[in-house]
């Protein structure tokens, strides 16, 4: 019989891999310290803080040391060193997300916004929702049809957001001035519906979608 060895999980490969890469670098040997100090950088909302917390739980059995959230800008400054491993002694430094000073084109900016790398309000939830619907239809990802009670896929973002608002209860009360006085009216909240649509996409509720 043969013995099958299970592959090592990616999370367990990170610390040994980083230690090896740093040790093989000629610049590393200029210092006498044997500890590893690693700066974690990347675009906003890609999981840098989550990675640090995960490694800390895995190797030190400690709770989270840095705040995480599903939107960009949670980490606002370079934090102090955070120990993630004892052997080898390794510290990671969390940093705010960084983006190029100028995006190559509008579509790149839209993709980054859908991934949460750019604040929604800087692009517009309705514009993002329209592009997301276009992307889902282009890739024939039609899970949204059943989720929002549609009869079939649609190209109209207004029709989709109306269904989202109705099925998810996204309404708002507004005051309407009439000839006989003010009247409170309940209306569909299309902005909240667009945000719900975006949140479902980011949570994976609309299927596995690759924007590139």
Q: What is the pLDDT of residues 64-110, one digit of tens each?
A: 655 555 554 444 445 567 887 888 888 888 777 776 666 677 888 88
In this structure, the answer to whether residues 89 and 118 fall within a common structural domain is no
Whether 16 and 71 map to the same domain: the answer is yes
**Per residue in 88-98, is it b (16+ CB within 10 Å) or e — as a string?**
eebbbbbbebe
Q: Helix or strand or coil: residue 74?
A: coil
Give me the CATH number covering residue 124.
Answer: 1.10.1580.10
Q: In the prediction, which pLDDT does 150 show?
A: 93
The reply to whether 126 and 66 lie within a common domain is no
Distance CA 98, CA 106 (A): 18
Structural domains of the chain, count:
2
What's the pLDDT score for residue 131?
Answer: 94
One domain, residues 89 and 117 = no
Q: Say whether both 76 and 118 belong to one domain.
A: no
Q: Of 41, 60, 94, which one is at a domain's C-terminal end?
A: 94
The count of residues in the chain is 212
Q: Are residues 64 and 32 in the same domain?
A: yes
User: Would residue 4 count as lying in a domain?
Assistant: no
Would residue 159 count as lying in a domain? yes
Which phi and psi (to 5°) does residue 86 adopt? -95, -45
Closest by CA to 37, choosing from 87, 83, 68, is 83
Determine the 3-state secondary structure of 187 from DSSP.
strand
pLDDT at 36: 79
- Do residue 69 and residue 146 come from a single domain? no
Looking at the domain assignment, is residue 186 inside a domain?
Answer: yes
pLDDT tens figures, 128-179: 999 999 999 999 999 999 999 999 999 999 999 999 999 988 888 777 666 6
Within this chain, do residues 151 and 192 fall inside the same structural domain, yes or no? yes
Q: Give the distance, in angstroms, between the CA of residue 63 and the centroid of all CA atoms in the same chain.
A: 21
Verify that 125 and 83 share a domain, yes or no.
no
Give the C-alpha separation, 38 to 92, whole Å. Answer: 5
Encode pLDDT of 177-186 as tens digits: 666 667 777 8
- Cross-strand partners of 185: 174
CA nearest neighbour of 123 among 104, 107, 146: 107
Per-position DSSP letters for 113-160, written without gaps between them: HHTTSS-HHHH-HHHHHHHHHHHHHHTT--HHHHHTT-SS--S-HHHH
Residue 180 structural domain: 106-203
Q: Are residues 115 and 198 in the same domain?
A: yes
Distance CA 176, CA 167 (A): 25
Residue 99: enclosing H or E segment and its boundaries?
A: none
Q: Are residues 112 and 84 in the same domain?
A: no
């Amino acid at each position: 019989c043969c013995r099958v060895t299970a592959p090592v999980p990616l999370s367990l490969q990170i610390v040994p891999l980083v230690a090896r890469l740093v040790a093989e670098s000629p610049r590393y040997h200029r210092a006498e310290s044997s500890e590893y100090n690693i700066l974690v950088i990347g675009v906003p909302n890609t999981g840098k803080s989550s990675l640090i917390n995960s490694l800390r739980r895995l190797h030190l059995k400690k709770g989270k040391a840095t705040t995480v959230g599903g939107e960009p800008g949670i980490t606002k400054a370079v934090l102090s060193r955070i120990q993630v491993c004892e052997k080898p002694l390794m510290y990671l430094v969390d940093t705010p997300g960084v983006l190029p000073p100028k995006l190559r084109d509008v579509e790149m900016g839209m993709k980054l916004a859908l991934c949460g790398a750019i604040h929604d309000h800087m692009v517009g939830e309705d514009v993002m929702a329209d592009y997301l619907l276009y992307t889902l239809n282009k890739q024939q990802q039609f899970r949204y049809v059943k989720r929002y009670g549609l009869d079939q896929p649609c190209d109209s973002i207004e029709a989709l957001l109306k269904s989202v608002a109705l099925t998810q209860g996204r309404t708002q009360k507004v005051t309407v001035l009439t000839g006989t006085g003010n009247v409170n009216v309940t209306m569909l909240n299309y902005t909240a519906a667009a945000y719900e649509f975006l949140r479902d996409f980011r949570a994976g509720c609309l299927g596995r979608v690759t924007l590139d």
